[in-house]
Structure 1
Amino acid sequence: MPGTALLVMDVQQAIIAHVRDDGYPARLAGAVKAARAAGIPVIHVVLGFRAGHPECTPRNKNFGALPPGAFAEGDPGSVIHPAVEPLPGETVVTKKRVSAFTGSDLELVLRAADLDHLVLTGVATSGVVLSTLRQAADLDYRLTVLSDGCYDPDPEVHRVLVDKVLARQAEVSTIEEWSAALAG
């Protein structure tokens, strides 16, 4: 699939600690393995801030309330989960807000590699996945969402977003279906 990249977003220790689906990391690792086997670049997107969080304002409900040091260098919670740990040479993009594009160099990385089809996974469906999909659609990327490669703490929110919202701007597939198509 020339021009395709798998985005693994916000799969960091402090975020995964709140996932109530024990099978999620292994399932997501299956998508990463399938992408690598097919020669599809895996791009890891993480949330990260400077020491002292100068990028965060108290007006921002999500990030203004973070404890000191959270998602800053040296924070063990900011480390990517070992199930999807980047291989040497894989790109890690650090973002400053909910969308993978905001405060990051993701678009520059994608354009430089001539990647125009994004396969989205991550935590949470109502956060990074939704925000990234909306921005990517406005930037004219082709999009696929791996429904079981995304997680939301509210299963009903996840279902509505995947079935009714995300499907308007993206192809929706499961990890198994997508992996089989790559291998086929």
Structure 2
Amino acid sequence: MANSALLVMDVQRDIVDIADDGSGYLPRLRKAIDGARAAGIPVIYVVIGLRPGHPEVSTRNRVLTNAVQAGLFTEGDPGTEIHHDVAPQQDDIVVTKRRGSAFSGSDLDLVLRARDIDSLVLAGIATSGVVLSTLCRAIDLDIGLTVLVDACLDTDPEVHRVLTEKLFPQWADVVSVEDWLNAISRSSAAKL
């Protein structure tokens, strides 16, 4: 699959504050973003944003109801901004979603089709949330997938481990940021 994009998902200030364990997550993610840009791979940011008053949140959706009660995800709030350590550049695309998957309530599919992108590299917070949901939807859309294991983060390290070691490898290439950067570097060199 020749046309790839790096998806940087839900790396928003409030989410990073909750999930970042001090393990160097943001610098690793920054390295992946910089490497993608250097290789000419588009970087697409995905954020969750809910309208003020949250008309799109059903009380049957436990995750969003709890998030709203905790004061999270309202569009325009400072906590919904993409973390400044990995902020988008002028040519990057930012997609707003309304649910767990990057595809839910967003125009991501339209953006991918318009750019003829048929392969995604997934990074983001949380592994058990946006990464899992997006991966499942992308499979149904016949999109090629790579998961950057150390550019994904979850509040539960065991859940992250099980997903990235047992489940995701059934559907996607699961690699480290370093291995992915080496692969795209070799691919770029081969084209010269």
Shorter-chain TM band: over 0.9
Q: TM-score, normalised by structure 1?
A: 0.96
| CA displacement at 1:69 relative to structure 2 | 6.1
2:182 pairs with 1:180: yes
The CA deviation string for residues 25-50 of structure 1, in whole angstroms up to 9 with x for no partner, is: 11100000000000000000000011
| CA displacement at 1:68 relative to structure 2 | 8.1
Runs of 4+ with >6 A deviation: none
Within 2, Cα distance between the matches of 1:84 and 1:117? 22
Superposition pairs of residues 1-150 of structure 1, within 5 angstroms = 2-22=2-22, 23-65=24-66, 66-67=68-69, 70-150=72-152
| CA displacement at 1:119 relative to structure 2 | 0.2
Give the secondary-structure state (helix, strand or coil) at the position aligned to 2:19: coil
Give the secondary-structure state (helix, strand or coil) at the position aligned to 1:121: strand
Q: TM-score, normalised by structure 2?
A: 0.92
Structure number with the higher helix fraction is 2
Q: Which ranges of structure 1 fall in alignment gaps of 5 or more residues?
A: none
Within 2, Cα distance between the matches of 1:151 and 1:64? 22
Aligned identity (percent) is: 57
The CA deviation string for residues 68-105 of structure 1, in whole angstroms up to 9 with x for no partner, is: 86322320100001121000021000000000001000
Within 2, Cα distance between the matches of 1:142 and 1:103? 21
Q: Which ranges of structure 2 fall in alignment gaps of 5 or more residues?
A: 187-192
Give the secondary-structure state (helix, strand or coil) at the position aligned to 2:56: coil
Tell me if the contact between 2:20 and 2:153 (Cα under 8 Å) persists in the aligned partners: no
Within 1, Cα distance between the matches of 2:75 and 2:135? 27
Within 1, Cα distance between the matches of 2:158 and 2:124? 17
Q: In structure 2, give the amino acid aligned to 1:3.
A: N
Give the secondary-structure state (helix, strand or coil) at the position aligned to 1:28: helix
Within 2, Cα distance between the matches of 1:9 and 1:26? 15
Q: In structure 2, give the amino acid aligned to 1:13.
A: R
CA RMSD in angstroms, aligned pairs only? 1.3
